[in-house]
């Protein structure tokens, strides 16, 4: 299983190479050149402008106050700052479930971010926790999409309700929820077609899927999870904003964090969107999903980053 932090995502090594931890520099204070280089490093690692400025200002302040006198103190101070920045609203470990009936989880996002894989990962996780899970293959748009999810379903021995290619995704979602209720399922997870946040018709279709699910089961969907590719930086932030305008999101899942040096996107997303990060995607198998934890993420970002 790919592990978060096993690659080069950490920024500490790169920060250190900027001579930041030179004790002299810490005592003298950081000069404009140091700060600019640090700023640049954070921007390059996809922290985004707001989080970058926050971190640089924090560093500057700590050094000016003289509260940081050693490498270890600097590491601890930055780690704590990142943890606080990453900590969010209540962040349930797993899927929110209603008192009766199945929890309905709708998974959305732009093309190729990892939605279908994430549906399989979530199903596997919940199944292993002892829940009965049913999948809904509501990507009737892309050729092969239904077969892709059905293959995952078969491998995991999880039932799957599928639509016809070119059919109405809202109808598939409706059927999946209905089957979930009839069969006494604990969770119904619905995969949707990739869509760009700029495609008005497809975004309207998404709003319809949400409405139709609600008609079948009041309060559903209980979870609307937006999948974002963690390697696309500020684009992911923009996608999050625009999807959230169309459907209320209950969480974000950030994928492809295995094998990227740009883990700052997680901080940018947390900072710039008011939606909790719920899970991280760390590879291509069903095992590669991890609940998001601010402290752990801060630790990983503060790893040296050398492979």
Ligand X SMILES: Nc1nc2c(ncn2[C@@H]2O[C@H](COP(=O)(O)OP(=O)(O)OP(=O)(O)O)[C@@H](O)[C@H]2O)c(=O)[nH]1
Contacts with ligand X by CB under 6 A lie at 109, 111-117, 139, 142, 145, 194, 255-256, 258, 281-284, 288
Compare residues 46 and 288 and give the one whose CB is closer to ligand X: 288
| Residue 257 Cβ vs ligand X, minimum distance, rounded to whole Å | 7
- 192 lies in the binding site for Mg ion (CB under 5 A): no
Which of Mg ion, ligand X, none is residue 250 near (CB under 5 to 8 Å by kind)?
A: none
| Residue 234 Cβ vs ligand X, minimum distance, rounded to whole Å | 19
Q: Interacting stretch for Mg ion, rule CB under 5 A, among 17-25, 113-121, 177-185, 276-284?
A: 113-121
Is 126 within 8 Å of 186 (Cβ atoms)? yes
- 255 lies in the binding site for Mg ion (CB under 5 A): no
Q: How many residues bind Mg ion (CB under 5 A)?
A: 2
Q: Interacting stretch for Mg ion, rule CB under 5 A, among 3-11, 40-48, 52-60, 114-122?
A: 114-122
Left (φ > 0), alpha (ψ -120 to 50) or beta: where does 166 sit?
left
- 115 lies in the binding site for Mg ion (CB under 5 A): yes
Q: How far apart are CA 273 and CA 211, in angstroms?
A: 24
| Residue 119 Cβ vs ligand X, minimum distance, rounded to whole Å | 8
Q: How far apart are CA 286 and CA 1, in angstroms?
A: 9
| Residue 148 Cβ vs ligand X, minimum distance, rounded to whole Å | 6
| Residue 300 Cβ vs Mg ion, minimum distance, rounded to whole Å | 27
Compare residues 30 and 253 and give the one whose CB is closer to ligand X: 253
Binding residues for Mg ion, rule: CB under 5 A, are 115-116
């Amino acid at each position: 299983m790919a592990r978060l932090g096993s690659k080069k995502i950490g920024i500490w090594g790169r920060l250190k190479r900027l001579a930041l931890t030179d004790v002299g520099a810490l005592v003298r204070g950081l000069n404009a050149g140091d700060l600019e280089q640090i700023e640049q490093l954070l921007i390059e690692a996809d922290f985004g402008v707001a989080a970058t400025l926050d971190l640089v200002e924090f560093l500057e302040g700590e050094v000016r106050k003289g509260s940081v006198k050693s490498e270890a103190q600097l590491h601890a101070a930055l780690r704590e700052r990142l943890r606080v920045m990453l900590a969010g609203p209540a962040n349930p470990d797993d899927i929110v479930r209603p008192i009766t009936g199945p929890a309905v989880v709708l998974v959305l996002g732009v093309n190729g971010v990892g939605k279908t894989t994430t549906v399989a990962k979530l199903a596997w996780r919940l199944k292993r926790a002892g829940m009965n899970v049913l999948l809904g293959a509501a990507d009737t748009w892309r050729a092969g999409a239904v077969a892709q999810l059905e293959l995952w379903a078969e491998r995991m021995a999880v039932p799957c309700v599928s639509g016809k290619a070119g059919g109405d995704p809202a109808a598939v979602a409706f059927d999946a929820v209905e089957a979930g209720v009839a069969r006494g399922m604990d969770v119904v997870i619905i995969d949707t077609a990739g869509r760009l946040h700029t495609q008005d018709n497809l975004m309207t279709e998404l709003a319809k899927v949400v409405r139709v699910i609600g008609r079948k089961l009041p309060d559903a969907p209980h979870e609307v999870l937006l999948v974002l590719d963690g390697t696309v930086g500020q684009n992911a932030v923009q996608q999050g904003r625009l999807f959230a305008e169309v459907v209320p999101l209950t969480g974000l899942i950030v994928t492809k964090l295995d094998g990227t040096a740009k883990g700052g996107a997680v901080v940018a997303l947390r900072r710039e969107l008011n939606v909790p990060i719920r899970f991280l995607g760390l590879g291509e198998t069903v095992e590669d999903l991890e609940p998001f934890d601010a402290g752990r993420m801060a630790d990983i970002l503060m790893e040296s980053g050398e492979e």
